[in-house]
Structure 1
Amino acid sequence: MHNSNRWAAVALFMALVGLPMGAFAEPTKLPVGYRSAQTLATQDASVLQVLEDQRISAQLHKDSWGNGLDEDSFDEPGDLVEHPLLNARLRLLSASGEVLASEELGYPLAQVEKAPIKGLPETVYFLTIDQTAPMGSYSGPATQLLLPSRQQLTPLNYKSADAKVEPLTLAQTGKAAWQIATPAEGGADELLQVSSFMDGDGDDDFATRFETYRFVDGQWQATSSQKAGYWDAENEFPARTAFP
């Protein structure tokens, strides 16, 4: 039966038995070349959906996460020359399957999860985009915060000490890491980010930055400090006292 005829028949049946149309809403179509890699129901009954190139299986996603995804990862790498990998997309769907918002994410792998941050007035979600390059230690998964009930797929911003407002992005690389921390004095959880980078002309000239993101007066705010020295992912995460 043709799709239009099929759904007309469904509509007639539901009208006869008194069911609302939303009870059997037509499934939301996927863009050509994509598979639904993840769906996550939100607190307000909407759904966050991650789409990835259909050539990236769930197992390949798992094996490649944080390791870099290149042509050697595929059984038929030659196909990527004529048909490069599609970048992941994030969609926000209503309970009935309507696409409320959609964003292309710039890289092939992504995932979403409910953020386990305590003390916030509303539930936020982590969107992590795997930006790992096949080589090097300065790239890796980058995490942003989403508030679908208010901002849909627009990432949350933070205000820096110099009053600049920018998207809050947390890096996990060979020379950067972050954690959620509960302040001893109470209040909302904080986000701690440590990162190390070249700071001079010599091979051993490194500096390490310590950043704290706090939710204050309805907005994320950042403070930071910096000292000479090197940190990488093989080291223990710095003590809370290292952060401002």
Structure 2
Amino acid sequence: MRMTGAGLGALGFVLCWGGGLALASQEDAPRGYRIAQELLVGDGTVLEVLEDRRITAQLHAQSWGSGLDEETFDESTDSEHQPQLQARVRLVSDVGEVLAEQALGYPLAKVEKAPLSGLPYPAFFLTVDQTAPMGTYSGPATQILAPTRSRLEPLVYRDEDGKQRPLTMAQTGKAAWQVLSSTQAGSTDSIAQVSSAPASEGDDFVTTYRIYRWVDGQWTTASRQQPGYWDAESEFPEPAAFP
């Protein structure tokens, strides 16, 4: 079993280079942004995370998982006159052409190579910090990107009703996820998500155990619920707890 959800918050900015790719210049960033992170995709393209130029690597690390507002910026900046910019992710060719770009809705984001064995394409975890100033039901949300086949659209899964939905994993005070290594040769790793929420009636809680599996060329899900409470201070459930 490999934990990825909890570990994402501890990651800093990592610039990855290889294959003769030239280091990008901050001059290539859009106005008001800086290139905060770059990762090679494997087909000559590069995934870039853009953040407000006033968000330094240190400020990013300090603010991750606790929320970031304009008052966080250093008083010496001109943040009072310039609204905070939301993070963006973009796919750039080996000659610097922007092939696709998406706004992420929040100021902090990061990307990493997804440690998912068995997929037929390179996959990446894009995590956007959606943490609110108060409460335990918000936090970093992670999607799976497969730039070589779907550009920057997040991968979807088929739910129990057969509907296609974006595959998003939450890391909050009452939710967590892990990559579960496959025990069968040639099989794809799965993703387990546990979450707890108030029951529809009364003061009790219900915990949902959900698992995402790669089956016949697409992500599917199965889940079960049981009475009880789970939070981030609890141990992550054993694999046998998931359907």
Whether the TM-score (by the shorter chain) exceeds 0.5 is: yes
Alignment of 1:94-133 (within 5 A): 94-133=93-132
Is the contact made by 2:50 and 2:88 (CA closer than 8 Å) also made in structure 1? yes
Higher relative contact order (CA 8 A, sep 6+): 2
Distance change >3 Å, CA 120–CA 69, structure 1 → 2: same
1:195-214 → structure 2 map (5 Å cutoff): 195-202=195-202, 204-214=203-213
| Structure 1 contact 208–226 (Cα < 8 Å) conserved | yes
* Alignment map for 1:133-144 (pairs within 5 Å): 133-144=132-143
Q: What is the CA–CA distance in structure 2 between the aligned matches of 1:120 and 1:219, rounded to whole Å?
A: 10
Match of 2:218 in 1: 219
Which string of whole-angstrom CA distances, capped at 9 and with x for unpartnered residues, describes residues 20-52 of structure 1?
xxx999967321110110011111110000000
Distance 1:162 1:225 in 2: 14
Amino acid aligned to 2:200: G
Root-mean-square deviation (CA, aligned residues, Å) is 2.1
Task: Give how far 1:78 is off.
Answer: 9.0
Q: Alpha-carbon deviation of 1:56? A: 0.5
Is the 1:160–1:221 Cα contact (8 Å) retained in structure 2? yes
Task: Tell me the residue number matched to 2:43.
Answer: 44
Aligned counterpart, 2:192:
192
> How far apart in 2 are the matches of 1:31 and 1:177?
34
Change (3 A) 1:24 1:49: closer
**CA distance 1:128–1:77, change in 2 (3 Å):** farther
Contact kept? 1:125, 1:146, Cα under 8 Å? yes
Count of equivalent residues: 221
Q: Which has the larger radius of gyration?
A: 1
Q: Residues 70 and 84 of structure 2 are in contact (CA less than 8 Å); yes or no, is this contact kept in structure 1?
A: no
The alignment's TM-score, normalised by the length of structure 1, stands at 0.85
Cα 1:143–1:26 change in 2 (3 A) is: closer
Measure, in 2, the Cα distance between the counterparts of 1:64 and 1:24.
30
What amino acid is aligned across from residue 197 of structure 1 in structure 2? Answer: A
**Could you report, residue by residue, the CA deviation over 1:183-219 in whole angstroms, capped at 9, with x for unpaired residues?**
33441100000000111343x3110101010001110
State the match for 1:11 in structure 2.
none
| Letter matched to residue 124 of structure 2 | Y
1:71–1:223 Cα change, 3 Å: same
Change (3 A) 1:105 1:24: closer
Structure 2 counterparts to residues 1-244 of structure 1, below 5 A: 29-76=28-75, 79-186=78-185, 187-202=187-202, 204-244=203-243
Distance 1:77 1:128 in 2: 29
**Could you tell me whether the CA contact under 8 Å between 1:137 and 1:173 is conserved in 2?**
yes
Distance 1:231 1:152, change over 3 A: same
From the two aligned structures, give the one with the greater helix fraction.
1
1:138-169 deviations in Å (ceiling 9; x for gaps): 00000000111111101100001110101100
Unaligned stretches of 5+ in structure 1? 1-22
State how far apart, in whole Å, the 1-side matches of 2:49 and 2:77 are: 26
| Identity level (%) | 57
Unpaired segments ≥5 residues, structure 2: 1-20
